[in-house]
Structure 1
């Protein structure tokens, strides 16, 4: 969960104003593109999957570079008048990366070709939780139905709707291709748990209604489960669908939702040496818009905590909670950048303020949830708490222009200053998180639901 999107607003007194922010960050739109270096006649540059951005040509371009069909890197360039954008981006990639490093290996299934038996991707249910966003939901569903996975089902969970728009959309446009269920209680974790209960696949994948999934996404995300019986969770790469507002550009310049372009395996039996807080730094594992679980493993740990996540007073943390619970049960977690979705970042300064506050709140809410539900983990957390506080301060620090985010950097995007007002909001959110979790538990208990 890297500055996850939230829908609940919060007080922003004392934060940087939108006008102040706009004076320090980019004002122009950035074109989002894909660069295939293996075109028959040389590199092929195309616009990204989302319409409405600036055209390719003179100006700023943010591009995903593919080699042998796989995401290999992201590059950011300013293309001058009369320059060929494909040539400029290709040169920038080759100046920073060795193309020979990007070769398929037996350790990771190809995101392009279906893996050979016995590692065919398992039957999967794709769960999309949504609430009153039928327009963008249709865009996401179109991309999900275009997946090359051989055996999957798409399930829309309509979370506490106030209109029939989502139900009508599924019935009229996707009848027979997409299943619909209604979850009357508000909260993304509750929607995900309803999807988990309804899932009929060995694997259950989750994504959001504001993404466009790459056609190879689901195959790349789920094939690792067939290759590794000890795998409990797989997460994937999230890149920006559009960069048309200063808020979107600022967020992506500090890492956005991406976790890098290198695959990684997290094994509780072999804690990573470079993450001394493991497994409590769950934000480095992935994000809820792009994750899949072995269904039996997720059910065995009780699914998602319903008092976490968007739509609750806790504001977030449902994905992080699930990651840690699955890892603490002894399962491995794999991050694979070849499982790609394009995310529509929130567009306004107020949205970014909400994200900052919600990120902080969700972070400490999920830690509270872990300790409430798994108190046996308290000694391990306390032992790592001093370094955890230093880590929390580092990830919310005001960073000067050009300084990369500590965990993952800007992965090819131009860096702009992270405003102090947003850092303060993240820290305020961290202070609020445990209280928000307690409020959410009381609300669910009052509604007669399990906590």
Structure 2
């Protein structure tokens, strides 16, 4: 499946023009049609499309471009069919959020995750604060170079990039940074394995009042860092901001399966989570941390993150806990009384894992990371235990639902539709096994890092 970006001048069909315009003329209202990161020009076949309105992300869809058709015309027509504001008196957009547009096998068929109507030009806002971008990596210099190229092309006016080389086996990462990026990227070594430990090392090395984190397997949109950090200048109570994550490639069955069931995307509606006003539609708040965002696209106010103790070093990839470092940090920030904002304008493209074996490891890691981070919260903030126990019955139901076998007809749909891509029972079982293993994994990991000082408190 191809990945592309479609930028429209309007999400409504232009007046006095059919959906496709005159043959041979540019598709009306199309500002640009671009392939996804590193992709070839869009051609016939199935296409996953990020739809923008004058540069701003507003939705995604999948559509089939027939042989001989103009891709821009077909994709623009599909986008307007699904994203145009409904006529007065029709059901609200949310009522049909996961509705299939047409038979998925027909030309131009689309499935969409719909965002709000794109606004006009935004009012002038305060400039984003100085930011340190932390990228933890381990023995992936090729992917890291691709990520760094996109980070150094950001339109943010004042930022630095810090690469944390985590428990390296070779000097490949240091060599890459020193050879190609030495003037604009700082290299930091962290010998203790674990993503959270590496992130904490980055927190200690960074000098910005805002700390942004992303992974070495992403390509950041040029506006990513500005959009991710602007909320800190707008609202002094914001402690954390997360953004939109979309697939950079959908070339293998494993990648398509993951994205068909939601991937990492959290939708196109900006949202602020305020612990002083718990959301009525989130009965497990704040413990459904996966709703808030993901570690490949997050930023924190440095003072608040350090005050919360940073990331728990016994969580995350590279430890027996397998994950949960980002979820732990989100809940800690909320538990300390700070707001968390999700903004779809802050976009990174993520290279999903490619093989079935990768996906199996990921499914187990998701389950383990979920219960490991909850264990970490109880261990490090015992005062949260009563609130967690009060939500436990609903939480168990929620966990069972999220790990249930899902087929295209009866399952819980993801952001981009499940038709034709059922979630295997084997992966559901792995997620549940991971949940059972998570607490013990956390205990084992905590023993290994016992006595490890916070890097910013080392003397």
**TM-score if structure 1 supplies the norm length?**
0.87
1:248 maps to 2:255: yes
> What secondary structure, in the 3-state scheme, does the structure 1 residue paired with 2:50 have?
strand
For residues 401 and 413 of structure 1, what CA distance do their matches in structure 2 show? 5
Q: Please, which of 170, 183, 193 is the counterpart of residue 176 of structure 1?
A: 183
- CA deviation after TM superposition for structure 1 residue 405, in Å: 3.7
Q: Please, which of 65, 70, 94 is the counterpart of residue 84 of structure 1?
A: 70
Partner of 1:196: 203
1:449 maps to 2:429: no
CA RMSD of aligned residues (A): 1.8
> What secondary structure, in the 3-state scheme, does the structure 2 residue paired with 1:233 have?
strand
1:265-414 aligned at under 5 Å gives the runs 265-402=272-409, 405=412, 409-411=414-416
Partner of 1:132: 139
For residues 85 and 198 of structure 2, what CA distance do their matches in structure 1 show? 42
Encode CA deviations 1:258-289: one digit per residue, 9 max, x unaligned.
Answer: 11111111000111111100000000000000
Change (3 A) 1:276 1:202: same
Change (3 A) 1:402 1:58: farther
Encode CA deviations 1:102-130: one digit per residue, 9 max, x unaligned.
Answer: 33379xxx6xxxx745x110000000000
For residues 393 and 171 of structure 1, what CA distance do their matches in structure 2 show? 48
- CA deviation after TM superposition for structure 1 residue 86, in Å: 1.5
Change (3 A) 1:105 1:322: farther
* 8 Å CA contact 2:131, 2:159 repeated in 1: yes
Partner of 2:92: none
Encode CA deviations 1:309-364: one digit per residue, 9 max, x unaligned.
Answer: 00000000000000000000000000000000000000000000000000000000
Change (3 A) 1:413 1:81: farther
For residues 262 and 331 of structure 2, what CA distance do their matches in structure 1 show? 22
* 8 Å CA contact 2:240, 2:333 repeated in 1: yes
1:38 maps to 2:9: yes
For residues 189 and 210 of structure 2, what CA distance do their matches in structure 1 show? 21
> What secondary structure, in the 3-state scheme, does the structure 2 residue paired with 1:225 have?
helix
Encode CA deviations 1:235-260: one digit per residue, 9 max, x unaligned.
Answer: 00000000000000000000001111
For residues 283 and 130 of structure 2, what CA distance do their matches in structure 1 show? 35
Q: Please, which of 407, 415, 420 is the counterpart of residue 425 of structure 2?
A: 420
For residues 238 and 337 of structure 1, what CA distance do their matches in structure 2 show? 8
* 8 Å CA contact 1:75, 1:412 repeated in 2: no
Change (3 A) 1:311 1:105: farther
Partner of 1:64: 50
Encode CA deviations 1:72-92: one digit per residue, 9 max, x unaligned.
Answer: 100101111222221222122
For residues 174 and 99 of structure 1, what CA distance do their matches in structure 2 show? 46
* 8 Å CA contact 1:254, 1:404 repeated in 2: no
Partner of 1:25: none
For residues 136 and 174 of structure 1, what CA distance do their matches in structure 2 show? 14
Partner of 2:119: 104
For residues 410 and 266 of structure 2, what CA distance do their matches in structure 1 show? 17
- CA deviation after TM superposition for structure 1 residue 410, in Å: 2.6
For residues 231 and 192 of structure 1, what CA distance do their matches in structure 2 show? 20
Encode CA deviations 1:21-49: one digit per residue, 9 max, x unaligned.
Answer: xxxxxxxxx00000011299631311111
- CA deviation after TM superposition for structure 1 residue 98, in Å: 2.5
Q: Which runs of 5+ in 2 are unaligned?
A: 11-25, 87-115, 455-459
* 8 Å CA contact 1:363, 1:433 repeated in 2: yes
For residues 85 and 282 of structure 2, what CA distance do their matches in structure 1 show? 28
For residues 155 and 190 of structure 2, what CA distance do their matches in structure 1 show? 29
Partner of 1:23: none
Query: Relative to structure 2, which stretch is displaced further, 410-419 or 359-368?
Result: 410-419
For residues 35 and 424 of structure 1, what CA distance do their matches in structure 2 show? 38
Query: Relative to structure 2, which stretch is displaced further, 72-81 or 285-294?
Result: 72-81
For residues 150 and 432 of structure 2, what CA distance do their matches in structure 1 show? 36
Change (3 A) 1:207 1:413: farther
Flag the structure with more relative contact order, 1 or 2, with Cα contacts below 8 A and sequence separation at least 6: 1
Partner of 1:20: none
